[in-house]
Amino acid sequence: MRVVIQRVTHASVTIEKKCKSAIEKGLLVFIGIEEKDGTEDIEWLCKKIANIRIFDDEYGVMNKSILDIDGNILVISQFTLHASTKKGNRPSYIKAAKHDISIPLYKEFCEKLSVTIGKEIGTGEFGADMKVELLNDGPVTICMDTKNKE
């Protein structure tokens, strides 16, 4: 699994001109799933996301986690995180998992992350044409891939 995490002052996702989810201060998490991903990847990512210290403490040092600030999370599925640009100018998405694999893993990830932070998270809609709006705070953007844990 690959994620791009952005620290935001606010973020929202709109589908067919209707706001599906919106958050204030917290994290916007884009997630890409590949066929080799599973529950172990979900558990590792949820712990990392919940505990990564990228929010400022009272001294302006990034020393607090989403749990410390009681922030919010919005999760958006994004198969394009697995784009391969090695050949030609049109990206290949062959590594991205098909719907029968990725939808259950996406749902499991969202449920586990919600339990991990102890509150409901916002989500997009898997496979929908989504409009994501955000104000990146910092800017702070972190990329993680469960295939590169060590």
Where are the chain's structural domains?
A: 2-148
Known catalytic membership, residue 116:
no
State the catalytic residue, choosing from 79, 116, 123, 146.
Answer: 79
For the segment 15-49, what is each residue's pLDDT rounded down to a tens digit? Answer: 999 999 999 999 999 999 999 999 999 999 999 99
CATH fourth-level superfamily of 2-148: D-tyrosyl-tRNA(Tyr) deacylase (3.50.80.10)
For the segment 49-73, what is each residue's pLDDT rounded down to a tens digit? Answer: 999 999 999 999 999 999 999 999 9
**What's the mean pLDDT in 77-85?**
91
Known catalytic membership, residue 79:
yes
State the catalytic residue, choosing from 6, 30, 55, 78.
Answer: 78
Q: What is the DSSP string of 63-78?
A: EE-HHHHT-EEEEEE-
Known catalytic membership, residue 30:
no
What is the value of pTM for the model shown? 0.95
Q: What is the DSSP string of 123-141?
A: E--TTS-EEEEEEEEEEEE
Query: What spatial distance separates the first Cα and last Cα of the chain, rounded to whole Å?
Result: 14
Per-residue model confidence (pLDDT) at position 100:
94
Per-residue model confidence (pLDDT) at position 94:
85
Nearest Cα residue to 75 out of 11, 149, 144, 146: 11
